[in-house]
A and B are shown apart, each in its own frame.
Chain A
Amino acid sequence: MGWPMTSKGWAVPGSKAGEAVPAPEGERAVPDAAGIAAVGAGVSLPGSAPLTGGGGKAPPRAAHGASGGGGAGLTGAGVTREAPRLARYRAAFAGAALALALSLLLALCAGHVWNTPDEVFRAVLGEGRDTANLISLWRLPRAITAAVVGALLGLSGAVFQGIFRNPLAEPWLVGSSGGAAVGAVLALLLPWPVPQDLALPALSFAGALGAAFLVLALARLSGSLDTATLLLAGIAVGAVLTALRSFLMMTLSSETVSLQVVMSWLMGAIQAPDGARMRIMLALSAAVFLLSFAVSRPLDLLGLGEGMAAAWGLNVRRTVILGLILGSASAALAVSAGGMVAFVGLAAPHVARHFVGTRHRRVIPFSALAGAVLVTVADALGRSLMPPGEIPLGLITALAGGPFFLALLAGRNRRLS
């Protein structure tokens, strides 16, 4: 009968209460993290390797000591108030923020003509007029735009994966990138009464949202919101949209609008906007980012399964719709500022879950940070590796992201088996 619960009640027979501690998480995480840092070095600049190591290379206990900023929403409930766990996440966030700072520095240095960080700093201080102009008028807006595009893609990917509860979901797969592309092609190829600066994001958003809701409606038509149905509907809609886009490009292109512009945009190209547009883009992105905190807890609950989520008081339908709107808005903003950039939306959330667990209030911001680093570095490399030409951003992210993702996948399968 009565078994003293606290002392030995639930402990596995034959083990003492204190012994149940599993192999320290950190120790298993270290080789993985180092592996990621190693693969990541392929995408990031040579000098950044020690930084990524801030979360990876350092022994886990030492990493706990690292104080970190940027750990948004880390205060948890009672179970998790344990300092080491929080410190680990803070260290991961600090590492990611540092990686972003370094990749922005790389972006300011990179170009047809490379500048040293020293020159960049002096230019920022106003010395060297030509270099200062080059950096502040050309490279800085572009680097910021690239970072924002990456953050939006990372956010969008995290939100879509959260809604679809599928690690394969991403803006591209669920149709919203395809929808945004159709909208954008229309904006680029047709004469509009409003300036193109306005038409592009508006039509992209309309396209992305339209596609996402079409996916939702198709899934509902078949009577279920489960993952497989949603993904199948997304793939079907995506295929139709790709065909539609190609058709539009064939029929609408003329002498006056070069298909090459559209093509290069389709392969991903950061368009650094001027002052006013930049401010609009930043404001919209900030709004999307803040809104993402509102869906993070609902997405956590959704991750427990629909039945459990409902039992725990979640309005599943409303969460799915809100998430679709948010993910689409994010994807559309990214598409209108950076064209079609592959893989970032898919890979960034995986990186995030690897470092900060599965709670969306950490996954979404970390995924945004990871996406920002990826796109900033990829864009910097794209415009500096083959002067005077530019390698399309989308090609680089796909080239670097593909193997990176495969490595993640292989690592995960090894762990599971």
Chain B
Amino acid sequence: MSGLSLEGVRVEKAGRLILDVPSLCLGSAGLTALVGPNGAGKSTLLKVLGGAERGASGRVSLDGRDLLRMPGRERAARTGFVPQHFTPHWNQRVFELLELAEERCGAAPGLFAEAAAEFGLDGLLDRDWEGLSGGERARVLLAMALGGRPPLVLADEPGAAMDAAYSLRTLETFRRRSAETLFLVAIHDLNLAVRFFPRIVVLKDGRVAFDGGPEELAEGGSLDRVFGVRFWKVDCGEGFVLFPVSVL
């Protein structure tokens, strides 16, 4: 079976069920957004898939192989993980971070140099982390995660620290690569989600509350239920925007 699929994935912490996904197939390529209110389990799900969160039960298979029980380095080579918060401890230079990312996944030579150029990092290679702006940091993180061209990219709020231009560019990059890569992206901005992602998975209280396309999400009223907010769907230009009007 190809692609990413989850079966009976559960995470419990201190007796509380944080994540409970009985079955979810995500295919082998494309853009899938992960939305939901705070604490819905988006980050937990991404961390479980990325290997940053241990202690999940169940089965996750990526191209027929068990992702949860795969040796760390093998899993790391197949997944590009962009965490929500990344605070390295040593104020590394940009090239040191890229160097580590390159060694991690044993990428073909030149792939990361290419990624550095692609994300506009050529002039930043000798700068240190603390001296970078939020947008620059986000680009470094993306280059680290995407440089080795892993088949699965897990990004947790990649655009949160970016201005509008950068966050659009990031999603454009994802879209360009989505033919050969599966992107699972936690995203707060519902309008970016409906505009860029053909598939949207909504989590609430650790469970999948909705799984489908943007139109469907906006029409069915499930969005209102999940967020406890009434949304207006306002048609405009190429599509529509969702506008939160009142708390239900």
**Could you tell me the distance between the alpha carbons of A314 and B123 in the complex, rounded to whole angstroms?**
30
**Interface flags, A310-339, vs B, CB<8A=1, else 0:** 111111000000000000000000000000
Surface stretch bound by A, among B31-39, B69-77, B219-227: B69-77
CB of B65 to closest CB in A, whole Å: 15
> Residue-by-residue, is A1-32 near B (CB-CB < 8 Å gives 1, otherwise 0)?
11101100111110001111110010000000
The residue that B99 contacts in the complex, of A2, A76, A311, A315, with Cβ under 8 A, is: A76
**What is the interface size of chain A, counting residues whose CB is below 8 A from a CB of the partner?**
44
Q: Does A79 contact B (CB under 8 A)?
A: yes
Asked whether any CB of chain A lies closer than 8 Å to the CB of B12, the reply is: no
CA gap between A79 and B102 in the complex, in Å: 8
Q: CA of A307 to CA of B72 in the docked complex: distance in angstroms?
A: 13
A250: Cβ under 8 A from any B Cβ: no
B96 touches A359 (CB 8 A): yes
- Do A22 and B81 contact each other (CB < 8 Å), given the known contacts A310-B52, A311-B52? no
Contact B96 A357 (CB under 8 A): yes
**CA separation between A305 and B85, bound complex, in Å?**
10
Structural contact, B88 and A303, CB atoms closer than 8 A: yes
B 163-186 contacts with A by CB, 8 A: 165, 169, 172-173, 176
Residues of A within 8 A of B92 (CB): 303, 357-358
> Which of B2-10, B21-29, B107-115 sits within the interface?
B107-115
A407 on interface, CB distance cutoff 8 Å: no
- Asked if A19 and B172 make an inter-chain contact with CB atoms under 8 angstroms apart, the answer reads no
- B50, B87, B176: the one contacting A311 at CB < 8 Å is B50
**Do residues B100 and A300 form an inter-chain contact, with CB atoms below 8 A?**
yes
Question: Are A307 and B52 in contact (CB-based, < 8 A)?
Answer: yes
Given contacts A2-B172, A303-B92, contact A308 B117 (CB under 8 A): no
Interface residue from A12, A79, A313 paired with B125 (Cβ < 8 Å): A79
Contact with A along B118-131 (1 / 0, CB 8 A): 11111111110010
Contacting residues, chain A, for B91 (C-beta < 8 A):
358
Query: A1, A10, A22, A304: which contacts B139 (Cβ < 8 A)?
Result: A10
B120 in contact with A10 (CB, 8 Å): yes
Q: How far is the CB of A1 from chain B (nearest CB, A)?
A: 7
Enumerate B48-100 residues with CB–CB distance to A below 8 Å.
50-54, 71-77, 79, 81, 83, 86-93, 95-100
Report the Cα distance A301→B92, complex, angstroms. Answer: 11
Kindly provide the distance from the CB of B119 to the nearest chain A CB, expressed in whole angstroms: 5
A312 to B104, CA, bound (A): 7
Q: A85–B98 Cα gap in the complex (Å)?
A: 14
Residue B103 is within 8 A (CB to CB) of chain A in the complex: yes
B116: interface (CB < 8 Å):
yes
How far in angstroms is the closest Cβ of chain B from A61? 14
Q: Would you call B47 an interface residue if the criterion is a C-beta within 8 Å of the partner chain's C-beta atoms? A: yes
Contact: A10 with B123, CB < 8 Å? no
Query: Do residues B102 and A77 form an inter-chain contact, with CB atoms below 8 A?
Result: yes
Indicate if the CB atoms of B118 and A5 lie closer than 8 Å: yes
- Cβ distance B154 to chain A, nearest Cβ, rounded Å: 8
- Known: A10-B169, A79-B116. Contact between A20 and B74, CB under 8 A? no
Tell me whether A313 and B87 are in contact (CB under 8 A): no
Instruction: Return the contact of A303 from the options B50, B51, B89 (Cβ within 8 A).
Output: B89
| B99 surroundings in chain A (CB, below 8 A) | 76-77, 79-80, 359
User: Least Cβ distance of B62 to chain A in Å?
Assistant: 14
Interface string of A274-308 (1 = CB under 8 A from B): 00000000000000000000000100110111011
Cβ of A353 under 8 Å from chain B:
yes
Q: In this complex, which of B99, B110, B169 has the most chain A Cβ atoms within 10 angstroms of its Cβ?
A: B99
A78 within 8 Å of B (CB atoms): yes
Min CB–CB distance B45 → chain A (angstroms): 13
C-alpha spacing A66/B95, complex, angstroms: 22
> A308, B86: Cβ atoms under 8 Å?
yes
Instruction: Give the Cβ gap from B223 to chain A, nearest Cβ, in Å.
Output: 27
Q: Note all chain A residues with C-beta closer than 8 A to B79.
A: 311
What distance in Å separates the Cβ of A309 from its nearest Cβ neighbour in chain B? 9
Q: Which B residues are CB-close (under 8 A) to A307?
A: 47, 52-53, 83
Please pick, from A5, A13, A21, A315, the residue contacting B165 in the complex, using a CB distance under 8 A.
Answer: A13
Q: How far is the CA of A30 from the CA of B206 in the complex (A)?
A: 53
**Known A22-B126, A78-B110; contact A353-B86, beta-carbon cutoff 8 A:** no
Tell me the smallest distance from the CB of B102 to a CB of chain A, in Å: 4
Chain B nearest CB from A155 CB (Å) reads: 17
Please give, as numbers and ranges, the residues of chain B lying within 8 Å of A22 by CB-CB distance.
Answer: 123-124, 126-127
Specify which chain A residues have a CB less than 8 angstroms from the CB of B86 in the assembled complex: 304-305, 308
Cα-based distance from A353 to B77 in the complex (angstroms): 28
Q: Which residue of B lies closest to A2 (CB)?
A: B172
Q: Is A125 an interface residue (CB 8 A)?
A: no
Indicate the member of A13, A77, A311 with the most B CB atoms within 10 Å. A311
User: Cα distance A314–B104 when bound, in Å?
Assistant: 10
Interface residues of A in 30-89 (CB under 8 A from B): 76-80, 85
Cβ-based interface call for A165 (8 A): yes
**In the assembled complex, A416 has its CB within 8 A of some CB on chain B:** yes
Q: Is the CB of A21 within 8 A of B52?
A: no
Q: Whole-angstrom distance between the alpha carbons of A77 and B125 in the complex? A: 14
Which 5 A-B pairs give the minimum distances between C-beta atoms? A10-B120, A20-B123, A313-B72, A313-B76, A313-B73
Chain A residues with CB under 8 Å of chain B are 1-3, 5-6, 9-13, 17-22, 25, 76-80, 85, 165-166, 297, 300-301, 303-305, 307-308, 310-315, 353, 357-359, 416
Query: What are 27 inter-chain pairs, A to B, with CB distance below 8 A?
Result: A5-B117, A6-B117, A9-B118, A9-B120, A10-B118, A20-B124, A22-B123, A22-B127, A77-B102, A77-B103, A78-B109, A78-B112, A79-B116, A80-B96, A297-B103, A303-B89, A307-B83, A311-B47, A311-B51, A311-B52, A312-B81, A312-B104, A313-B74, A313-B75, A313-B104, A353-B90, A359-B99
B interface residues (Cβ-Cβ under 8 A, vs A): 47, 50-54, 71-77, 79, 81, 83, 86-93, 95-100, 102-104, 109-113, 116-127, 130, 139, 165, 169, 172-173, 176
Q: Beyond A6-B117, A165-B89, A353-B90, list 11 extra A-B contacts (CB 8 Å).
A: A10-B120, A10-B139, A13-B165, A17-B122, A25-B126, A166-B89, A303-B90, A311-B81, A315-B72, A358-B92, A416-B130
